Structure 1
């Protein structure tokens, strides 16, 4: 059963981390719906930690592999040419944009997780509210700018908005893409900046758990979770970037609203 759980959670993480639907919210909901928390707890050891870390390592691998060439050029220009080139500017913009979300995560993540982890109705609210905001912004704002037009102020605004993703249901990719669209960027540009911005955030989350990674690296479940989330994450990135060349975010907004309604129905149907 644990193997099956590792695969399903890997799929959920790979999809939710990069599509604007909230990976943290979906991971909590899947465990709640199928009562997997008790199964994982009964397994003992560090299975829960191993799975959680594996999912982050997998999505980090996905975004690094997909944007390897981009990060190579960004880092090279950023460290050697500073703000003299567009790539160099983008590197330092991403560094600056990471700071607000990173600080918020360090200070608030554990507290917020304790509050929201077992609150499906709050997650449903986050899904619904963010779905409406995403739809409204995407529908009303014209596509004006490509990523090469981004300014330091705009990058910082997007990075600061990322802190709201600590609330399960909001979605890190959802809030950053929505903010970028609000600033007038094309859908594809919004998605790409969100993915690039995800790299240091996910890397930081993985780095924080380095001892856990070293301890669990030989655990087969760790490998299954990492591999699954990496593969699914890679194709999620590829899918969304191509999808947004011809379509808007409406399908994701509608999905969020439907899922929120289903959660409310199940919650009260269970008599919780």
Structure 2
């Protein structure tokens, strides 16, 4: 990989991991559309480490509060609101984890195509727009229920389909269930932490068993750029999402999907 490819792919990972526009689609497309060499497993691990570092740093105070609350009252008959939220994040991660173990290889072999990405980008983009328009007055995270968390977790499993967007589908489900935009985004971002950690761990194990040489300079640059761009993305998304809504992302998804269908399928 040359310097331009490293910069583009790392920044794409950082931005699209948390925007509702699909990181997997944007990382697959350069190799298929521009003929770039596949970035490889080591680079995937590096940029995921970067995005994980960004989201954990941004939500470090929330994580400290949730973990502390879980240890204090998480197993009691009347857990605190923070302890409940910690449980909800953990339990909502399970469906996507199981789906990845059971279906990951099949999806990798059969669904990583431009056509699938295009239709998923359009279809789930429309669903995101519908969810944003139908949202109610806005339920806060403090009023979230276990059933709501599990529904969002089941929706997250759909993100295995390239073009779906993990953040997009979880925000869509949260909005359809009545969560406030900002709270839907915050839960989506918190939900990303255990999933990225698990996915990164599995990729790291695979990488440790590989005999291919590792370009540590490229990996360090990729991790740093993905971390910076991811932090910027989270900060501005949460700052402006209540004002701008989901429409800009819906229109972007429709435009991207249309271009892919017209010129690359």
Normalised TM-score (structure 1): 0.91
1:80 equivalent among 57, 72, 79: 72
Residue number in structure 2 paired with 1:44? none
Residues 133-158 of structure 1 show CA distances to partners (whole Å, capped at 9, x for unaligned) of: 11111112223211111011101110
RMSD over aligned CA atoms reads 1.7
Would you say the 8 A contact 1:3–1:224 is kept in 2? no
- For the pair 1:51 / 2:49, whether they are aligned, the reply is no
Which of 1-10 and 68-77 deviates more?
Answer: 1-10
**Residue range with higher mean Cα deviation, 25-34 or 15-24:** 25-34
Specify the alignment match of 2:185 in structure 1.
Answer: 191
Deviation string 1:198-249 (CA, Å, 9 cap, x unpaired) is: 0000000111123427988871111111111111001111111111121210
Matches within 5 A, 1:1-272: 1-37=1-37, 40=38, 48-82=40-74, 84-117=79-112, 119-211=113-205, 212=207, 219-268=216-265
Q: Structure 1: 5+ residue runs without aligned partners?
A: 41-46
SS at match of 2:264: helix
Residue 63 to residue 235, structure 1, CA distance change in 2 (3 Å): same
Distance (Å, rounded) in 1 between the aligned partners of 2:102 and 2:219: 27
For the 8 Å contact 2:41–2:203, the answer to whether it is kept is no
The whole-number CA distance in structure 2 between the counterparts of 1:116 and 1:3 is 29
Instruction: Verify the 8 A CA contact 1:77 1:87 in the aligned structure 2.
Output: yes
Find runs of 4+ consecutive structure 1 residues off by over 3 angstroms.
213-218
User: How far 1:6 moved relative to its partner?
Assistant: 1.4
Report the number of matched residues: 259
Task: Give the TM-score taking structure 2 as reference length.
Answer: 0.93
1:75-107 deviations in Å (ceiling 9; x for gaps): 111122215211111111111111111111122
Distance 2:4 2:208 in 1: 21
Aligned residues of 1:21 and 1:174 also touching (Cα < 8 A): yes
